Amino acid sequence: MSDIHDTVFPGDFPGREDKIKYFKEISSTMDVARELAQTGCPHSTVVIADRQVKGRGRLKRTWVSEKGGLYFTLVLRPQLSPLESYKVNFLASLVLAKTLRQKYSINAGVKWPNDILVGGKKISGILSEMETQTDRIDYINLGMGINVNNDPSGVEPKATSVKKILNRNVSRKDLLTDFLNEFEARLCTVATDDVIFQWKQHTVTLNQKVRIVTHHEVSEGIAIDVDQNGALLLAQSDGLVKTILYGDCFLV
Ligand code: BTN
């Protein structure tokens, strides 16, 4: 029976032991993953921490990382061009939403670009960093924060966790294993799969009125589609359709 004090040890992942780098407490799994990636660690190395003291979110936000959550960064070296790298993030959010639905009967959906929501509340977020060499990807570090046995609602009222939804603790090891198995299998064919089409089957963003916030502008409109490059198409009140490449999306 797992509880909030369970720990994810390399030995919990038969066949992957060498690629699991576990830390009880760390600044951010992104920092360690970057060092490992730059010194040549293999594809699919996973840096996991029970706690992060400097957890990072998108757009320079903090990701509060208390014990009980699942915080990891996956070092990936996919056979993709840098222009196709967006597919990796969409695949990760799609696979996590499907894992939560299929294994835990949690009604998870994806919000553009890569958040996972349940009942309008965030259960997981993704941050990625990429290094390229001219026309190929050297590495993509995919950082995922999943609220599992923690309760994030004290610091972020619009967040939830697996425990809050199911009213019990679950094994973080099982959740991570299920996610990794499915994600890695699907990553092999991500170049040719229509990931965006599949992602759209699980999204809570389309046909909604949304506000998109970036560092320098705020746009509002109806989210009418996500194009083949992962950009959000926003129908504005002036009749124009704006293509949004990045930003924070709020349902209004
Ligand atoms: C977001 O929604 O803003 C993205 C959050 C990403 C958080 C994860 S936790 C593991 C990895 N390490 C970090 O410092 N951030 C990512």
Q: What is the pLDDT of residues 32-88, one digit of tens each?
A: 999 999 999 999 999 999 999 999 999 889 999 999 999 999 999 999 999 999 999
Strands 45-52, 20-26: pairing is: parallel
Nearest CA to ligand 1 atom 11: 143
* Residues above pLDDT 70, as percent of the chain: 97
Ligand 1, CB within 6 Å, residue ranges: 28-30, 52, 55-58, 61, 63, 71-73, 115, 125-127, 143-145
pLDDT band of residue 7 (cuts 50, 70, 90) is: low
User: 169-202 pLDDT, tens per residue?
Assistant: 999 999 999 999 999 999 999 999 999 999 999 9
CA of 241 to the centre of ligand 1 (A): 31
User: 114-130 pLDDT, tens per residue?
Assistant: 999 999 999 999 999 99
CA of 17 to the centre of ligand 1 (A): 23
Q: At what angle do helices 86-104 and 172-187 cross, to 10 degrees?
A: 130
CA of 61 to the centre of ligand 1 (A): 9
Q: How far apart are CA 231 and CA 50, in angstroms?
A: 33
**Range(s) for CATH 3.30.930.10 in the chain?**
4-200
Q: How far apart are CA 226 and CA 3, in angstroms?
A: 39
What CATH number should be reported for the domain whose range is 4-200? 3.30.930.10
| pTM (predicted TM-score) | 0.94
Nearest CA to ligand 1 atom 7: 145
Q: Which atom of ligand 1 is nearest to the CA of 59?
A: 3
Whether the CB-CB separation of 52 and 63 falls below 8 Å is answered with: yes
CA of 63 to the centre of ligand 1 (A): 6
**Range(s) for CATH 2.30.30.100 in the chain?**
209-251
Nearest CA to ligand 1 atom 3: 57
DSSP conformational letter for 21: E
User: 193-209 pLDDT, tens per residue?
Assistant: 999 999 999 999 999 99
Task: Supply the pLDDT for residue 96.
Answer: 98
Which is it for the CA torsion 21, 25, 175, 115, positive or negative?
A: negative
pLDDT beyond 90 at 12 = no
Three-state SS for 244? Answer: strand
Whether the CB-CB separation of 2 and 172 falls below 8 Å is answered with: yes
Q: How far apart are CA 57 and CA 70, in angstroms?
A: 14
Angle at 34 between CA 28 and CA 37, to 5 degrees: 140
CA of 143 to the centre of ligand 1 (A): 5
Task: Supply the pLDDT for residue 6.
Answer: 60
Query: Residue 46: enclosing H or E segment and its boundaries?
Result: strand 45-52
Pocket test for ligand 1, best of 63, 214, 250 (most atoms within 8 A of CB): 63
CA of 50 to the centre of ligand 1 (A): 13
For domain 209-251, which architecture applies? Answer: Roll (2.30)
CA of 126 to the centre of ligand 1 (A): 6
Q: How far apart are CA 79 and CA 81, in angstroms?
A: 7
Task: Supply the pLDDT for residue 4.
Answer: 39
Give Cα separations from 6 to 17, 55, 220 (angstroms).
Answer: 18, 20, 43
Q: How far apart are CA 169 and CA 8, in angstroms?
A: 14
Task: Supply the pLDDT for residue 110.
Answer: 98
